[in-house]
């Protein structure tokens, strides 16, 4: 029986468990919300609310006591100057725990722990809520194993990106095929004047025979003239 048994060991030693809670408190006071397992969130909630109650006093002993659990001075300054003043009119119950479902890997039940005045619009980029992303719980379940469905805008954007990628690939393939189909250009020779071929040289023997025949041809007309005179 668990009579008067308080707290969870979380499968850790005392030193490891304290270090875990220090890190989670630092993250919670920095971002105003964190995602963790349900058991850790339930153990962290009373510690966080006790720190906020101490910060509401604003005294130096309270600051020193908070520093024993949150060693980051900048985070403690934010707790005393920004977070605690938001709950001056609230007697307690500064945080809430919301279940997210089971994690895909090990089946652990996840939960969100956040301050009750947490506004998602103030923490989005530009200070305005993002349109077309669904509710907070749907987005958290989609990330941590709940299988949230995409909105129509996201589906259309994804389809448009796919079509654009396919068109770019088709254009690249067409360009490659055109480059392969085009024959390589052959450089045309520059216009040049035709060069006349030199006549073949006659052999020396043929030249000698022609020279020998020339005086005989000249002698024949001379003999013919003498015969005419005799007549």
Burial of 142 (0-12, 13-18, 19+ CB in 10 A): middle
Give the chain's mean pLDDT.
76
User: Per-residue pLDDT tens for 21-41?
Assistant: 999 999 999 999 999 999 999
C-alpha angle 84/88/91, rounded to 5°? Answer: 105
- Between 21-25, 60-64, 189-193, the lowest mean confidence (pLDDT) is in 189-193
Whether 210 shows a pLDDT value over 90: the answer reads no
d(CA 133, CA 129): 9
Task: State the residue for tokens 């990628």.
Answer: 165
Whether 70 shows a pLDDT value over 90: the answer reads yes
Please, what are the domains in the chain? 14-118 (3.90.1030.10), 123-173 (no CATH)
Q: How far is CA 190 from the centre of its chain?
A: 54
d(CA 51, CA 160): 49
User: Per-residue pLDDT tens for 119-163?
Assistant: 877 766 554 444 445 555 565 655 555 444 445 555 455 555 555
Looking at residue 148, what is its pLDDT?
A: 45
Instruction: Find the helix packing angle between 14-31 and 60-69, rounded to 10°.
Output: 120
């Amino acid at each position: 029986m668990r009579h008067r048994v308080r707290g969870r060991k979380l499968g850790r030693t005392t030193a490891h468990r304290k270090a875990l809670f220090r890190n989670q408190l630092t993250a919670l006071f920095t971002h105003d919300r964190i995602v963790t397992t349900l058991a850790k969130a339930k153990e962290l909630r009373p510690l966080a609310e006790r720190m906020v109650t101490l910060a509401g006093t604003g005294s130096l002993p309270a600051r020193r006591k908070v520093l024993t659990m949150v060693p980051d001075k900048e985070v403690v300054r934010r707790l005393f100057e920004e977070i605690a003043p938001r709950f001056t009119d609230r007697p307690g119950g500064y945080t809430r725990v919301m279940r997210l479902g089971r994690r895909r890997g090990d089946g652990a039940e996840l939960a969100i722990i956040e301050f009750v005045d947490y506004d998602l619009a103030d923490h989005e980029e530009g200070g305005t809520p993002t349109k077309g992303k669904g509710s907070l719980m749907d987005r958290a379940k989609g990330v941590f194993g709940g299988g949230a469905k995409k909105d129509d805008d996201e589906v259309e954007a994804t389809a448009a990106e796919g079509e654009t990628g396919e068109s770019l690939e088709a254009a690249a393939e067409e360009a490659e095929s055109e480059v392969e189909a085009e024959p390589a250009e052959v450089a045309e020779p520059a216009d040049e004047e035709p060069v006349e071929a030199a006549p073949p040289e006659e052999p020396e023997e043929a030249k000698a025979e022609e020279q020998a025949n020339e005086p005989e041809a000249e002698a024949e007309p001379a003999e013919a003239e003498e015969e005419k005179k005799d007549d």
